[in-house]
Chains A and B, each alone.
Chain A
Amino acid sequence: MKTIGYAIGAVVGSLLLITGCQSDKVTPEGPLRNDLLKKTTGPAVVGDRIEFAYALGTVEGNLQNVRAEATIAGGAGTGFSRFSWFTNRNTGVDQPVQTATDTVTNGALSTARIIDSPTSNKAVTLRYFYYPTADAKGKDVSFRFSGTSSTGQEVSFQSPTYRISNMDMRRSLVLADGAKAYVSIADMAVYTKAEVEQNNLANKIDFVYIYRPTLGTGNFAFGHAIVAPSNPEYLKDVTLPTGLARTRTAIDKRVDVKDAQLRGTSGFDLYIDDIDLQQTTFPSAADYAFGFAADQGAFVKTADGAYNAYVYVNAVNNTARTMTISIKRLKVN
């Protein structure tokens, strides 16, 4: 009985070993190969770029040309970079090295010629930047990368499709208390009192920037604030532009939404995308937010319901009484 058990065990074990070690068939690749990596992790927003790393390598001949064809032509700046990057082992810092030349973009087609040097003619990774245009908002874009070698071979790589965001983005608006303090989300701009009056913008102002170190009978900390024209409390010492519409903009403060694109620096992987502004709700939201510090912000809904936006605070300056903001907005109505 015991012997039968051992025999079955041995047979099953052998079968498992045989089937487990069976390798899948590998299609032999040619001497010229390529691969693609999308380095940008955030949404494709007009005003920012998408970055790809396109890698080529050959074991026969030398690398010669690369091309990238987008389904929608990009804006100014679209094309291959002439530089590849390597990490300096002594310092740990990434350093550029020129590996391409003749980088040309004509419409949707970008091309480059790889420099015939020992550092680049066998294997290279080129950067390709794509700047979405306003015409492409809400559309899908994809890219076909290809490369050739001196032996006449060609390889290509088709990227997935990427949706261009419907959001608009504006970076680094400097607000100044008592001066450039009147912000229009519709215009994505900031105006002075005189500009509002002269250009008949009294109906377009969504919030006013003020800076008060303290406020209230107890001199409570207040700081940098954005206040909707409807608020009677915090704008009572401000001489508002003549005829300013007292619209009630919903303002909902956040301290943990550090959008990498609005921040404008690397090292953050948090992004506000279309869906965030579409789905943000403002139940019982205030018409003001105060005590802003750098990296904080507020979700904002314009009084006419046309736009949802996120106002990000890049920097504050108590001495100059200024606050630098960046805005992402989405038309929702």
Chain B
Amino acid sequence: MMKKSILIKLMSLLTVVGLLSCAEEPVDESGLLITGRSQCFMTFFDLLGSDHRTVLVSGQTVIDTTALTVKAVARFGTNMQRVKPYCSVVTDAIVEPNMGVWTDFTEPKQYTVVSGNRKVRKTYTITVTLQK
């Protein structure tokens, strides 16, 4: 009788563990994991030319996470109509719209960093000036 009771308890525990392990983690429309993180900021920004090398002047990029601005300087002669932006963000955050595509940066562009829990959104204005 005692043995049977232990067996039933053990089976119940296993069932609960099994059910929990099958629960699906939430993902967004891109299939990226939605986590509990609410941090939302950009940590690094770069711009590549058609030769896939950086066009930014070293040490001149300033990311202001309070004013939500990025200011950078592109090298003399850069074709600003065809550059490819890249950035790093805090863990689990994403950027909208996607970077990594050829973009016209002759005018300031806006990108939104979205936190890991997808509840905090911060829109950065990125301004790149050209050496003349």
Residues of chain A whose beta carbon lies under 8 Å from any beta carbon of chain B? 215-218, 220-222, 252-256, 283-286, 288, 290-291, 296
In the bound complex, CA of A288 to CA of B12 (Å): 73
Q: Which residues of B have CB within 8 Å of A256?
A: 51-52
- Interface stretch among B28-36, B60-68, B71-79, B115-123? B71-79
**Closest residue of B by beta carbon distance from A296:** B51
B77: contacting residue among A222, A283, A296, CB under 8 A: A222
Q: Which residues of B contact A222 (CB under 8 A)?
A: 76-77
Neighbour of B132 across the interface among A218, A221, A254, A296, CB < 8 A? A218
Q: How many of B's residues come within 8 Å of A, CB to CB?
A: 15
Does B85 count as interface, using CB distance less than 8 angstroms?
no
The contact of B82 among A220, A284, A290, A291, by CB within 8 Å, is A284
Say whether B86 faces chain A, with CB atoms less than 8 Å apart. no
Query: B50 touching A220 by the CB < 8 A rule?
Result: no
Q: Give every chain A residue within 8 A of B81 (Cβ-Cβ).
A: 284, 286
Closest CB in chain B relative to A40 CB, distance in Å: 29
B77 touches A284 (CB 8 A): no
Bound Cα distance from A277 to B79, whole angstroms: 22
User: Can you sample 14 A-B contacts with CB below 8 Å?
Assistant: A215-B77, A217-B132, A218-B76, A222-B76, A253-B49, A253-B50, A253-B51, A254-B50, A256-B51, A284-B79, A284-B82, A285-B50, A285-B82, A286-B50
Most buried by B among A254, A284, A290, A296: A284
Q: Which residues of chain A are near B52, meaning CB under 8 Å?
A: 255-256
Beta-carbon nearest neighbor of B77 in chain A: A290
In angstroms, Cα B79 to Cα A252, docked, is 10
- Is B102 a contact partner of A216 (Cβ separation < 8 A)? no
State A18–B125 Cα separation when bound (angstroms).
Answer: 73
Contact flag A216-B82 (CB < 8 Å), given A254-B51, A284-B104, A285-B50? no
Residue from the list A220, A253, A291 in contact with B131, Cβ < 8 A: A220
Residue in chain A with minimal CB distance to B75: A220
Chain A residue numbers with a CB within 8 Å of B75 are: 220
Q: Which residues of B contact A283 (CB under 8 A)?
A: 82, 102
Point out the residues of chain B lying under 8 angstroms from A284, CB to CB: 79, 81-82, 102, 104
How far is A173 from B75 in the complex, measured between Cα atoms in Å? 29
Chain B residues whose C-beta falls within 8 Å of the C-beta of A220 in the assembled complex:
75-77, 131
The interface residues of chain A lying within 8 Å CB-to-CB of B79 are 284-286
